Structures are given as C-alpha cells and as structure tokens.
Amino acid sequence: MNRYEGRRALVTGGGSGIGQATALRLLAEGGTVVAADVSERGLRDTAQKAAAHADRLTTLVVDIADEASVRAGVAAATRALGGLDVLVNAAGILRSSHTHETGLDEFERILRVNLVGTFLVIRESIPALLDGRDAAVVNFSSTSATFAHPYMAAYAASKGGIQSMTHALAAEYAGRGIRFTAVQPGSISSGMTDGSGASGRSAGPGLPEDADMRLFAKLSPALGQGFAGPETVASVVAMLASQDGRFITGTEVRIDGGTHF
C-alpha cells in the first residue's frame, strides 16, 4: 500500500512514541518525511529504524515551544521536502500532579509545549500547505480532553484546546483545501505514557506518590488486550491524512480500545 507515494509530510515528535511510529508508517507507505523533535538522540533512533527508507527521511531538531525554532524548522522542512502536503503534530509532554500543588510555571509550560507549540507549527506550515496537494493536518488531542483523568488538569486543558482549535481551523480552511482532524489516543503504550521516550518532550506522567489509584479503575481498555502500541495510532493518522480520509475534516477520532464508551 503506497498511499503516500509523492506526498510530503512533516511529523513533529518524530523522535519517539507515536510520532516516531507515524513517521515510520508514512515512510513505509512511500511518503517523503521530515521527522522533527527536540531530541537529537531520539531522531538518531528514528533514522536507524528507518534505514531502509533513508533516501526519503530527513531529521530536524526543533523545539516547538520556541517560536524562532519553529519558524526556522518549518522553513527548513519545507525546503527539504520541496513543499508540504501533510502535517502531523504529535509532539507534546505529559505531566501529573495535585492541582493545588501545581506551580504556574509548570501549568504554563504544559500549555506552551502542547497547545501553543501546536499552534506555532500550524501557523508556520499553512502557507506551504495552501500550495500543497490534498493538504491535511492531524493534531494530537487526547481522551483526557473529554473524559476525567485525575492529576492531569493542565494536560487536559492543553489537549482540550487542541481539539477546539482543530474544529476552528477546519472551518476556516475548508474552502481553501486544507483538512484538519485530531486523534484522541488513550490506553496507548508510548514514550510519553511509560517514561521511556528518548525525547525531552515526552517524559512520563510521574503520578504523585500518594495518588489514589482507585480513580484509574475505569481507565482500562475494554477489549481485554491491555495497552496498545504506538503503531495503533499511527495507522489511524495515516488513514486520516491520506486520500482514504478525503471526506473527513473538523472532527476527532478516539483510539482507546473502548476505555471510554
């Protein structure tokens, strides 16, 4: 299946977890990809795993929380690709704490990376996407944007903002040929959720030591298969940004194995 042959994609968070899995999936389907991440080590890992497609992969260090880095990074990615057809905003961080113990700096940092960072990458990419072919943007929301995940108020706020922003952007650019969708991963094992990610933007949630685990009793996949791997989300992202998703915009797809009905 070569749905991405001739298509040019920028994937943020491409150094680990779902972002890395998405970059590898688009490459496997014939795409030309720029994988961007704040972690050089993570990007080296992606390049090693994509060795068979080295001629179609470019890696790029970008800090999505820094406006200048995003501006320079998107420009470099567009030059490397010769244009832009697909943008996947997978970069983000997950932090957990008691809300009454959360400092303003930490709350703002989570919003700065997840919500503002996503906005910055989209803003800088839109001119190239307007000139792209069948342009599509896939943003990363979360099940926490809709359902209660304790100790994650800041994270939920950032992901809820991304989800709302996706709808607004879809309406604004529908007539100009850019589709905007979002995915809501949940119960997915990745660098972000288990703390094993190479990216400095993908550290684990670090629940408070005294967290009441009874609050998580209903946050288990109903399918009885345990947590799914990041490739599960990557396959949905690949569909949404391909011609198979050409009639889908302004909505989100929940990928959680029935954790939330």
3-state percent breakdown (helix, strand, coil) of the chain, nearest 5 = 45, 15, 40
Query: Which residue from 65, 39, 179, 62 is spatially nearest to 119, judged by alpha carbons?
Result: 65
Q: Residue 55: how many CB atoms within 10 A of its CB?
A: 7
Whether 155 is a known active-site residue: answer yes
Write the DSSP string, 16-53: SHHHHHHHHHHHHTT-EEEEEES-HHHHHHHHHHTGGG
- Transcribe 79-112 into DSSP letters: HHHTS-SEEEE---------GGG--HHHHHHHHI
DSSP-based three-state secondary structure for 209: coil
As given in the structure block, the two tokens for residue 97 are 């704490």
Tokens 């998405």 sit at which residue? 22
- What is the set of active-site residues? 155
